[in-house]
Amino acid sequence: MLQSLYTVLLYLIQPLIWVRLWLRGRKAPAYRKRWGERYGFCSQKMQHGGIMLHSVSVGETLAAIPLVRALRHRYPTLPITVTTMTPTGSERVQSAFGKDVQHVYLPYDLPGSVNRFLNRINPKLVIIMETELWPNLITALKKRDIPLVIANARLSERSARGYMRLGKLIKQILQRITLIAAQNEEDGQRFLSLGLKRSQLVVTGSLKFDISVTPQLAARAVTLRRQWAPHRPVWIAASTHDGEESVILAAHRQLLARFPDLLLILVPRHPERFPDIIRMAQQAGMPYITRSSGEVPPASAQVVIGDTMGELMLLYGIADLAFVGGSLIERGGHNPLEPAAHAIPVLMGPHTLNFKDICAKLEEADGLITVQDTDSLVKEVGLLISDQDYRHYYGRHAVEVLYQNQGALQRLLHLLEPYLPPKTH
């Protein structure tokens, strides 16, 4: 009954969704494209009978990259379809995998759209990253006997309370899932409290620790650093949101008084904000170049604006230290392990709810520095730039936390084996 009501409401709000997509398309034109995919109509020819993996947006896609690569290596004959919900997630998939995987948007959770899509790709296994519980999709997979694994699953207290209000429906939905691979015991317990059976739960740890800097990426970063700033200190502020760039640019202005050749790489989280950041740099009177221009920053440039997609790991590799955004404002923060993988110090604001466990581990090991505002950012960045030993101390500890917590990927691959044909590698 509740699921039918949910479906009716979802049909009724479709016109509002179209309006929202159209309005978002004013700043990000990609939102006005590929609407057919959102209803299960795929214009491209799709191979079927493989693995489908859903990662809603950029963060989940980054965590999925090592998993997709490992699955391609183990099951080279199986087509892999990676779905997302956002254009930024879509661009990340395409830049990470190119034509090695099939990519479309996951359709909205309407029975007709879901079934149309499943008829098209008919997967042997569906993997959903983190926690996207779509009742009609989960029901359709159960009816078709297609195993569903929620990988790298997390469930905050707040989300658990929200799901609790669904009563029996959430229990029914959870019991239709084949397996939930939770990031930690806390998350696992929350799923159990909502009605998941113990036999459906395995705690694997977080896939986010299983990132690595490939030799090719490291070589590109070294080359770019030599071109851009062979004798200049460099810091990066990445995945920033509205309200953070003004703090960062104010801090950079103060730091330039002490370190006149300091270079800032500023990378906003959302591509539709690139023009805003360019305008802010102009208003601050700071000479800048954009990454998309392909230019080498002249000695006079004080800021490089990262206005390309899929290059964040490369840009982290150029920097001496990193500030990770979404954390000075209440967005919950973005992934501190990406800069940690390059063995550079990591700074974040106080709002790190999205990465609570990871940040706690980093902080405990002296791999993360918390800043509150412009003054504390200036103080900490200044210390790190002026003291090489201090900088190496925090960078080394950050990367050690990454190495010590790896292994979730291998545990997850082992759990997926029963649902896939024998591996050829």
- DSSP letter at 177 equals -
Catalytic position from the list 60, 91, 244, 380: 60
| Long-range contacts of residues 371-375, Cβ cutoff 8 Å, at least 24 apart | 371/323, 371/328, 371/347, 372/328, 373/247, 373/328, 374/247, 374/250, 374/251, 374/254
Closest by alpha carbon to 102, among 42, 147, 41, 34? 42
Distance CA 267, CA 350 (A): 19
Reduced DSSP (H G I as helix, E B as strand, rest coil) percent helix, strand, coil of the chain, to 5: 50, 15, 35
What does the block give as tokens for 166? Answer: 């669904």
The residues with which 202 forms a beta bridge, in sequence order, are 181
Query: Residues for the chain: how many in total?
Result: 425
- DSSP letter at 184 equals S
**Known catalytic membership, residue 272:** no
161 exposure class (CB count in 10 Å sphere: 0-12, 13-18, 19+): exposed
Helix pair 2-12, 135-143: axis angle to 10 deg: 120
Q: What is the dihedral angle through the alpha carbons of 342, 217, 96, 131, rounded to the nearest 10 degrees?
A: -20
Q: Which helix (H) or strand (E) holds 311?
A: none
Which residue spans within 337-384 are E strands per DSSP? Answer: 346-348, 368-370
Q: Which helix (H) or strand (E) holds 159?
A: helix 157-164
CA Rg, the chain, in Å? 22
Q: Which residues are catalytic?
A: 60
